[in-house]
Protein backbone atom coordinates (compact mmCIF):
# COMPACT_ATOMS: atom_id res chain seq x y z
CA UNK A 1 0.00 0.00 0.00
CA UNK A 2 1.53 3.39 -0.99
CA UNK A 3 2.02 6.25 1.44
CA UNK A 4 -0.80 8.35 0.01
CA UNK A 5 -3.36 5.60 0.54
CA UNK A 6 -2.09 4.98 4.08
CA UNK A 7 -2.40 8.66 4.86
CA UNK A 8 -5.98 8.80 3.57
CA UNK A 9 -6.97 5.77 5.66
CA UNK A 10 -5.38 7.18 8.81
CA UNK A 11 -7.03 10.56 8.37
CA UNK A 12 -10.36 8.81 7.84
CA UNK A 13 -9.89 6.87 11.07
CA UNK A 14 -9.02 10.09 12.85
CA UNK A 15 -12.21 11.76 11.61
CA UNK A 16 -14.26 8.77 12.76
CA UNK A 17 -12.61 8.81 16.19
CA UNK A 18 -13.30 12.53 16.56
CA UNK A 19 -17.00 11.96 15.92
CA UNK A 20 -17.01 9.49 18.83
CA UNK A 21 -16.48 12.45 21.20
CA UNK A 22 -20.25 12.90 21.22
CA UNK A 23 -20.87 9.41 22.64
CA UNK A 24 -20.95 8.55 26.34
CA UNK A 25 -21.78 5.30 28.09
CA UNK A 26 -25.03 5.45 30.01
CA UNK A 27 -27.34 3.39 32.20
CA UNK A 28 -31.05 4.05 32.30
CA UNK A 29 -34.22 2.76 33.91
CA UNK A 30 -37.29 1.85 31.89
CA UNK A 31 -40.26 2.77 34.07
CA UNK A 32 -42.65 0.71 31.94
CA UNK A 33 -41.20 -2.50 33.45
CA UNK A 34 -38.56 -1.23 35.93
CA UNK A 35 -35.62 -2.81 34.17
CA UNK A 36 -32.29 -1.22 33.42
CA UNK A 37 -30.43 -0.69 30.18
CA UNK A 38 -26.79 -0.10 29.36
CA UNK A 39 -25.67 1.58 26.16
CA UNK A 40 -24.40 4.77 24.62
CA UNK A 41 -25.99 8.18 24.28
CA UNK A 42 -25.13 10.67 21.55
CA UNK A 43 -24.84 14.00 23.36
CA UNK A 44 -25.67 15.96 20.22
CA UNK A 45 -28.83 14.05 19.24
CA UNK A 46 -29.92 12.33 22.46
CA UNK A 47 -30.13 8.96 20.68
CA UNK A 48 -29.72 5.99 23.03
CA UNK A 49 -28.22 2.77 21.65
CA UNK A 50 -28.72 -0.20 23.97
CA UNK A 51 -25.85 -2.66 24.40
CA UNK A 52 -26.74 -6.13 25.67
CA UNK A 53 -29.88 -7.34 27.36
CA UNK A 54 -32.17 -5.62 29.85
CA UNK A 55 -30.80 -5.43 33.40
CA UNK A 56 -33.06 -6.88 36.09
CA UNK A 57 -31.55 -4.75 38.89
CA UNK A 58 -31.38 -1.16 37.50
CA UNK A 59 -28.14 0.75 37.93
CA UNK A 60 -27.24 4.31 38.91
CA UNK A 61 -23.97 6.15 38.39
CA UNK A 62 -21.10 5.04 36.16
CA UNK A 63 -17.38 5.30 36.95
CA UNK A 64 -14.27 3.79 35.34
CA UNK A 65 -13.17 0.45 36.76
CA UNK A 66 -10.26 -1.92 36.20
CA UNK A 67 -9.60 -3.93 33.04
CA UNK A 68 -11.75 -1.64 30.93
CA UNK A 69 -14.89 -2.39 32.96
CA UNK A 70 -17.30 0.25 34.30
CA UNK A 71 -18.62 0.33 37.87
CA UNK A 72 -22.16 1.14 38.95
CA UNK A 73 -24.44 0.70 41.95
CA UNK A 74 -27.65 -1.29 41.72
CA UNK A 75 -31.10 -0.56 43.12
CA UNK A 76 -30.58 -3.41 45.59
CA UNK A 77 -27.30 -1.89 46.84
CA UNK A 78 -24.63 -3.95 45.07
CA UNK A 79 -21.50 -2.57 43.48
CA UNK A 80 -21.61 -4.00 39.96
CA UNK A 81 -19.17 -4.24 37.08
CA UNK A 82 -20.36 -3.66 33.51
CA UNK A 83 -18.59 -4.95 30.41
CA UNK A 84 -18.94 -2.03 27.98
CA UNK A 85 -18.57 -4.27 24.93
CA UNK A 86 -21.44 -6.60 25.81
CA UNK A 87 -23.42 -4.84 28.54
CA UNK A 88 -23.00 -7.90 30.79
CA UNK A 89 -23.29 -7.07 34.49
CA UNK A 90 -21.50 -8.91 37.28
CA UNK A 91 -21.78 -8.31 41.03
CA UNK A 92 -18.60 -7.27 42.85
CA UNK A 93 -20.17 -7.19 46.29
CA UNK A 94 -22.78 -5.64 48.55
CA UNK A 95 -22.20 -2.04 49.60
CA UNK A 96 -24.19 -2.58 52.78
CA UNK A 97 -26.57 0.24 51.80
CA UNK A 98 -29.33 -2.09 50.61
CA UNK A 99 -32.24 -0.40 48.89
CA UNK A 100 -31.17 2.96 50.34
CA UNK A 101 -28.28 3.09 47.83
CA UNK A 102 -28.58 6.07 45.50
CA UNK A 103 -25.70 6.74 43.12
CA UNK A 104 -21.91 6.81 42.74
CA UNK A 105 -19.17 9.01 41.30
CA UNK A 106 -15.38 9.02 41.14
CA UNK A 107 -12.99 11.76 42.22
CA UNK A 108 -9.19 11.50 42.15
CA UNK A 109 -9.30 7.70 42.04
CA UNK A 110 -11.77 7.30 44.92
CA UNK A 111 -15.33 6.09 44.36
CA UNK A 112 -18.02 7.84 46.41
CA UNK A 113 -21.64 6.85 46.97
CA UNK A 114 -24.73 8.50 48.40
CA UNK A 115 -27.84 7.01 49.96
CA UNK A 116 -31.47 8.15 50.16
CA UNK A 117 -30.75 9.61 53.61
CA UNK A 118 -28.20 11.98 52.05
CA UNK A 119 -25.09 10.40 53.54
CA UNK A 120 -21.77 10.27 51.67
CA UNK A 121 -19.62 7.12 51.59
CA UNK A 122 -16.42 5.83 50.06
CA UNK A 123 -16.74 2.51 48.23
CA UNK A 124 -14.15 -0.27 48.19
CA UNK A 125 -13.96 -1.20 44.52
CA UNK A 126 -12.59 -4.67 45.34
CA UNK A 127 -15.26 -5.75 47.82
CA UNK A 128 -18.06 -3.26 47.21
CA UNK A 129 -18.24 -2.30 50.90
CA UNK A 130 -19.25 1.30 51.64
CA UNK A 131 -17.71 3.31 54.52
CA UNK A 132 -19.58 6.29 55.94
CA UNK A 133 -17.95 9.72 55.64
CA UNK A 134 -20.81 11.85 56.93
CA UNK A 135 -24.16 13.52 56.39
CA UNK A 136 -24.20 15.98 53.50
CA UNK A 137 -27.01 18.24 54.69
CA UNK A 138 -28.79 17.81 51.35
CA UNK A 139 -32.51 17.02 51.84
CA UNK A 140 -33.31 13.33 52.27
CA UNK A 141 -35.32 11.56 49.61
CA UNK A 142 -39.00 12.44 50.24
CA UNK A 143 -40.03 8.87 49.35
CA UNK A 144 -38.79 7.82 52.81
CA UNK A 145 -41.80 9.58 54.33
CA UNK A 146 -44.23 9.75 51.39
CA UNK A 147 -44.40 6.95 48.79
CA UNK A 148 -45.99 9.34 46.30
CA UNK A 149 -42.88 11.51 46.25
CA UNK A 150 -39.55 10.84 44.57
CA UNK A 151 -36.20 12.57 44.21
CA UNK A 152 -33.55 13.07 41.56
CA UNK A 153 -29.83 13.19 42.24
CA UNK A 154 -26.74 13.40 40.07
CA UNK A 155 -23.33 12.90 41.71
CA UNK A 156 -20.33 13.95 39.63
CA UNK A 157 -16.82 15.39 39.70
CA UNK A 158 -15.44 18.39 37.85
CA UNK A 159 -12.25 20.38 38.27
CA UNK A 160 -11.12 18.27 41.21
CA UNK A 161 -14.36 18.92 43.11
CA UNK A 162 -17.34 16.73 43.98
CA UNK A 163 -20.85 17.94 43.19
CA UNK A 164 -24.41 16.74 43.61
CA UNK A 165 -27.76 17.93 42.31
CA UNK A 166 -30.99 17.20 44.16
CA UNK A 167 -34.73 17.79 43.85
CA UNK A 168 -37.98 16.23 45.06
CA UNK A 169 -41.23 15.82 43.11
CA UNK A 170 -44.75 14.69 44.03
CA UNK A 171 -45.78 12.14 41.39
CA UNK A 172 -49.50 12.82 41.82
CA UNK A 173 -49.35 16.57 41.32
CA UNK A 174 -45.91 16.86 39.67
CA UNK A 175 -45.30 19.72 42.06
CA UNK A 176 -41.80 20.28 43.40
CA UNK A 177 -41.38 19.36 47.07
CA UNK A 178 -37.63 20.08 47.09
CA UNK A 179 -36.43 22.75 44.68
CA UNK A 180 -33.70 21.60 42.27
CA UNK A 181 -30.33 22.75 43.60
CA UNK A 182 -26.64 22.17 42.88
CA UNK A 183 -24.28 21.50 45.79
CA UNK A 184 -20.52 21.16 46.18
CA UNK A 185 -19.59 18.36 48.60
CA UNK A 186 -16.49 18.25 50.77
CA UNK A 187 -15.26 14.67 50.16
CA UNK A 188 -13.40 14.59 53.49
CA UNK A 189 -16.39 15.47 55.68
CA UNK A 190 -19.40 14.90 53.41
CA UNK A 191 -20.73 18.41 54.11
CA UNK A 192 -22.46 20.01 51.13
CA UNK A 193 -22.45 23.72 50.30
CA UNK A 194 -25.22 25.19 48.16
CA UNK A 195 -24.04 26.50 44.80
CA UNK A 196 -27.36 27.58 43.29
CA UNK A 197 -30.58 26.52 41.59
CA UNK A 198 -30.36 24.09 38.70
CA UNK A 199 -32.52 22.08 36.29
CA UNK A 200 -35.32 19.81 37.52
CA UNK A 201 -34.97 16.05 37.13
CA UNK A 202 -31.18 15.68 36.88
CA UNK A 203 -30.29 12.03 37.52
CA UNK A 204 -26.84 11.86 35.94
CA UNK A 205 -23.99 14.14 34.89
CA UNK A 206 -20.70 13.53 33.11
CA UNK A 207 -17.63 15.59 32.26
CA UNK A 208 -16.58 15.26 28.61
CA UNK A 209 -13.85 17.30 26.91
CA UNK A 210 -13.82 19.89 29.67
CA UNK A 211 -17.61 20.39 29.76
CA UNK A 212 -20.27 18.92 32.06
CA UNK A 213 -23.45 17.44 30.59
CA UNK A 214 -26.51 16.55 32.65
CA UNK A 215 -29.42 14.23 31.89
CA UNK A 216 -32.80 15.45 33.12
CA UNK A 217 -35.84 13.19 33.29
CA UNK A 218 -38.92 15.00 31.96
CA UNK A 219 -41.89 14.71 34.32
CA UNK A 220 -44.11 16.85 32.12
CA UNK A 221 -42.35 16.65 28.78
CA UNK A 222 -39.28 15.40 26.96
CA UNK A 223 -36.21 14.17 28.82
CA UNK A 224 -33.20 16.27 27.93
CA UNK A 225 -29.43 16.46 27.62
CA UNK A 226 -28.22 19.71 29.16
CA UNK A 227 -24.93 21.56 29.33
CA UNK A 228 -24.41 22.18 33.05
CA UNK A 229 -22.31 24.95 34.59
CA UNK A 230 -20.90 23.73 37.96
CA UNK A 231 -19.99 27.30 38.95
CA UNK A 232 -23.62 28.38 39.32
CA UNK A 233 -25.94 25.49 38.39
CA UNK A 234 -27.14 27.08 35.18
CA UNK A 235 -28.07 24.73 32.37
CA UNK A 236 -28.49 25.01 28.60
CA UNK A 237 -30.58 22.74 26.40
CA UNK A 238 -28.57 20.48 24.07
CA UNK A 239 -31.00 17.77 22.88
CA UNK A 240 -33.97 15.65 23.83
CA UNK A 241 -33.02 12.09 24.66
CA UNK A 242 -35.30 9.20 23.82
CA UNK A 243 -37.33 7.23 24.52
CA UNK A 244 -38.87 9.37 27.24
CA UNK A 245 -39.74 6.32 29.38
CA UNK A 246 -36.01 5.88 30.02
CA UNK A 247 -34.46 7.82 32.90
CA UNK A 248 -30.70 8.10 32.38
CA UNK A 249 -29.25 7.56 35.85
CA UNK A 250 -25.53 7.30 35.12
CA UNK A 251 -23.06 8.31 32.45
CA UNK A 252 -19.32 7.95 31.79
CA UNK A 253 -17.04 8.98 28.93
CA UNK A 254 -16.26 6.42 26.26
CA UNK A 255 -12.54 5.71 25.73
CA UNK A 256 -10.82 8.92 24.70
CA UNK A 257 -10.40 8.90 20.91
CA UNK A 258 -8.03 11.84 20.93
CA UNK A 259 -5.02 9.68 21.78
CA UNK A 260 -5.80 7.43 18.82
CA UNK A 261 -6.19 10.47 16.61
CA UNK A 262 -2.86 11.92 17.71
CA UNK A 263 -1.19 8.58 17.09
CA UNK A 264 -2.71 8.44 13.62
CA UNK A 265 -1.48 11.94 12.85
CA UNK A 266 1.99 11.03 14.09
CA UNK A 267 2.11 7.92 11.92
CA UNK A 268 0.86 9.92 8.96
CA UNK A 269 3.60 12.50 9.50
CA UNK A 270 6.23 9.76 9.61
CA UNK A 271 4.90 8.26 6.38
CA UNK A 272 5.01 11.64 4.66
CA UNK A 273 8.56 12.25 5.89
CA UNK A 274 9.67 8.82 4.67
CA UNK A 275 8.09 9.46 1.29
CA UNK A 276 9.93 12.77 0.98
CA UNK A 277 13.23 11.16 1.91
CA UNK A 278 12.57 8.38 -0.59
CA UNK A 279 11.97 10.81 -3.44
CA UNK A 280 14.93 12.88 -2.32
CA UNK A 281 17.17 9.83 -2.63
CA UNK A 282 15.74 9.06 -6.07
CA UNK A 283 16.53 12.54 -7.30
Q: Give the 3-state secondary structure of residue 161.
A: strand
Q: How many CB atoms lie within 10 A of CB 18?
A: 13
Residue 271 has pLDDT above 60, yes or no: no
Q: Model pTM?
A: 0.84
Residue 261 included in any domain: no
Reported as a pLDDT band with limits 50, 70 and 90, residue 6 is very low
- Write down the pLDDT at residue 245: 63
Residue 278 included in any domain: no
Q: What percent of the chain has pLDDT over 90?
A: 76
- What gap in Å lies between CA 152 and CA 96, rounded to an integer? 21
Average pLDDT of the segment spanning 113-119: 98
Strands 161-170 and 48-50, by their bridges, are unpaired
Alpha carbon distances (Å) from 277 to 5, 24, 131, 196, 269: 18, 42, 62, 60, 12
List the 246-253 sheet strands across, edge first: 48-50, 35-42, 23-30, 246-253
Q: What confidence tens digit (pLDDT) does each residue in 11-29 have? A: 333 334 444 568 999 999 9
Q: What confidence tens digit (pLDDT) does each residue in 174-191 have? A: 999 999 999 999 999 999
Residue 5 included in any domain: no
Q: How many CB atoms lie within 10 A of CB 242?
A: 14
- Write down the pLDDT at residue 5: 45
Residue 163 included in any domain: yes
Using an 8 Å Cβ cutoff, are 101 and 94 in contact?
no
- Write down the pLDDT at residue 220: 78
- Write down the pLDDT at residue 256: 60
Average pLDDT of the segment spanning 239-262: 75
- Write down the pLDDT at residue 246: 86
Residue 267 has pLDDT above 60, yes or no: no
| CATH code of 65's domain | 2.120.10.80
- What gap in Å lies between CA 213 and CA 103, rounded to an integer? 17
Q: What confidence tens digit (pLDDT) does each residue in 18-76 have? A: 445 689 999 999 888 899 999 999 999 999 999 999 999 999 999 999 899 999 999 99
- Smallest CA-to-CA distance from 233 within 198, 192, 185, 193 is with 198
Residue 73 included in any domain: yes
What integer best gives the mean pLDDT of the chain?
86
Average pLDDT of the segment spanning 118-124: 98
Residue 140 included in any domain: yes
Q: Which residues pair with 225 in a beta bridge?
A: 215, 239
Residue 2 included in any domain: no
Average pLDDT of the segment spanning 71-100: 98
Average pLDDT of the segment spanning 237-257: 85
Residue 282 has pLDDT above 80, yes or no: no
Residue 178 included in any domain: yes
- Write down the pLDDT at residue 255: 81
- What gap in Å lies between CA 270 and CA 283, rounded to an integer? 20
- What gap in Å lies between CA 186 and CA 163, rounded to an integer? 9
Alpha helices for the chain (secondary structure H): 3-19, 258-282
- What gap in Å lies between CA 210 and CA 92, rounded to an integer? 31
The number of folded domains in the chain is 1
Which residues span the domain enclosing 176? 22-255
- Write down the pLDDT at residue 32: 84
Average pLDDT of the segment spanning 99-106: 98
Q: Which residues pair with 93 in a beta bridge?
A: 79
Amino acid sequence: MDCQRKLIILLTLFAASASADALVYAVSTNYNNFTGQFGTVDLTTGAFNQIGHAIADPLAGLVPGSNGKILSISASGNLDSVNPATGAVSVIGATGLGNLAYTIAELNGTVYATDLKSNLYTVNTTTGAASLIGYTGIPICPSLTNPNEVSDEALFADGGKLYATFDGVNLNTLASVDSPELYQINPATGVATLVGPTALGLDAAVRVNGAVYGFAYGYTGSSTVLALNPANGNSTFVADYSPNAFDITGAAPTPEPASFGLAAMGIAAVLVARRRRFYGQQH
